[in-house]
Structure 1
């Protein structure tokens, strides 16, 4: 064997032994949490008149884009690339290839924050490579294992890439409407991911943890819940493409999805989860999905701004569910008992409070906008700071049971 090949093999073996590179949830949960805190502090500075960065597209665009395709994409990728190993029974990305994917994500964040002068296309190009690479890894494992039911995640990731393209094209062409509608599409796509994943696990986690019987399956309701949410995504996709969709159509689809998700959530036993933060955090975050969809419908009637509905989905549903899922996955996949660590309940409560004051409360009292923004940002940072306090060491250490992963 040539010396260079032997050296490369040895390097790959050493990288595979690094605890943080054993499964995707480890580096992506850590980096996403840290990135989220830093990004929100930069956003706080902006609202108080301090310009810390001059990023790609300006700070308004950067905030929208990076919370979706920096923070949320990293958490979702860490979860999906870890879960796909369980779904398929095949080893997922680890070692050098995983760290290479992490480096690609990091390069996108650096270039978006510090764009290389006139070559603004470079930041867009590097950023746009990340999600397709995640989708390719998932596709290879799902198709090899013939786990066809998990192919649902691939078109969602593909549409997320399309939404990201729309945001970048919008900023490069100075098209604010395209930026906004593409960002809305991304929010709804991540909402669809939460509906699919939440529908699979929240009721199961609740029944198993509390020792309660599982509810009888209702396939028609599950189909209606996913289908109506997907219909909202499809309608928003048509809007991004320039189709003049009547507001009444979008309004009816949003209300149907809100109702279906409400009925689904009501069957999962959330009222019995009050003593388990990792459970009520999931139920509470999922409740913001129908709330956000209903608020979106009301915004089409001119009741309040659509961005309030968007923040119900992004803070109340997305960021809170991600925190609850990361807290759970980071214990189970490092061989530790799944339990609520001290302060995690407080952290989840702070996220739900941040969502309440940033969305429904602000809808009723728009005059308190400035301090509402400040308080919600600080609550977010404290909540994710609690996560980093508890989980940084476990995520960077080998499994306590000696197994791989």
Structure 2
């Protein structure tokens, strides 16, 4: 995905700058929502009930970080990227406002269910991802950019995981909720693997003036196939099928090894002066870390939720922050550089991931402090993003182009 210039000609659209491309409203809303929801979660962790959401606070925390926060950024990123990938106009103006309103209404009814029936909450909340998939699929097929079709089934499976979480609440099935949440985490991880493989090596080579390593077809194939295999095995578990722990763990270790070899070729060790680069490399490194910890959890050596948080905080949260910081500059016509404090924000996210995952696995007695610090670190990191990017995302591109 290009983050420097728009592929569209210069124009002066009439709609508000905030509604010219999907990254603008969704990056802002997702960042703000993550801070607010985690402060509510912090209060709950310290014994204060500030909210009585649908499904209870534990379910709400799991669900909303995946299908509120992460889904908004995935949608904003893909609906912006598809314009560059296809050369066709993406969602903007009134239709984009409608999609934003749908996301906001879903967040409100999940937080304040107002005794609405579960099926209505399900319908409202479920609609967002299929709409993103339909819009993206239409543009990809119209432009015949077949390599980007991979995102369509992933988005639809992501929506399926959301459906399963809702059904788990309606049926009182905690195991279905858990396995559906695991599937959602692994699906986002798969998307990070695909997108990261496309852009991290390129960004690193361009910024550091180094040659970009040529992809190794076998390595790329093993990485993609093993990552998809993990998702399919977890899908099988979610729908009630039997998957031996040794099989799931083995495929996870293969995916972790392939990702380690893959990222070792991208020159991350040379990016230490550039936070927007080492933030991407650090977040990608959390993918094999999380998969290895997950495989170990299947042997009973640690809790699976520790591995999940390596992927969610270190991988998802950090990569999304790094990508948003970069995309929000490039797509508003600004030079791509690390703004003051953004390096601190990315460092805090990685520290939160390490504390919440491997450190907590080794020192479970510091659980209370680790939970608290990881939440605070996330909130500070995303507050830094909001402080820098709220105004640019609400303003027209400084180069006068559309987008």
TM over 0.5: yes
C-alpha displacement of 1:398: 0.3
Contact 1:15 / 1:95 at 8 angstroms: preserved in 2?
A: no
Of 197, 213, 219, the residue aligned with 1:221 is 219
Aligned ranges for residues 2-401 of structure 1 at < 5 Å?
A: 16-401=14-399
Structure 2 CA distance for aligned equivalents of residues 285 and 180 of structure 1? 24
Structure 2 CA distance for aligned equivalents of residues 99 and 239 of structure 1? 37
Structure 1 CA distance for aligned equivalents of residues 128 and 271 of structure 2? 37
C-alpha displacement of 1:217: 2.2
Structure 1 CA distance for aligned equivalents of residues 215 and 168 of structure 2? 43
Contact 2:13 / 2:402 at 8 angstroms: preserved in 1?
A: no
What is the aligned-residue RMSD (CA, Å)?
0.9
The CA deviation string for residues 295-314 of structure 1, in whole angstroms up to 9 with x for no partner, is 00000011110000000000
C-alpha displacement of 1:125: 1.1
Structure 1 CA distance for aligned equivalents of residues 375 and 221 of structure 2? 36
* Count, aligned residues: 392
Q: Secondary structure at the match of 1:359?
A: helix
Contact 2:55 / 2:169 at 8 angstroms: preserved in 1?
A: yes
C-alpha displacement of 1:122: 1.5
Instruction: For structure 2, list consecutive stretches of 5 or more residues without a partner in the other structure.
Output: 1-11
Instruction: For structure 1, list consecutive stretches of 5 or more residues without a partner in the other structure.
Output: 1-13
Q: Secondary structure at the match of 2:110?
A: helix
C-alpha displacement of 1:120: 2.4
C-alpha displacement of 1:121: 2.0
Structure 2 CA distance for aligned equivalents of residues 216 and 156 of structure 1? 26
Structure 2 CA distance for aligned equivalents of residues 254 and 15 of structure 1? 47
More RCO (CA 8 Å, sep 6+): 2
TM-score by length of 2: 0.96
The CA deviation string for residues 221-261 of structure 1, in whole angstroms up to 9 with x for no partner, is 11111110110000000001101111111110111011001
C-alpha displacement of 1:15: 8.9
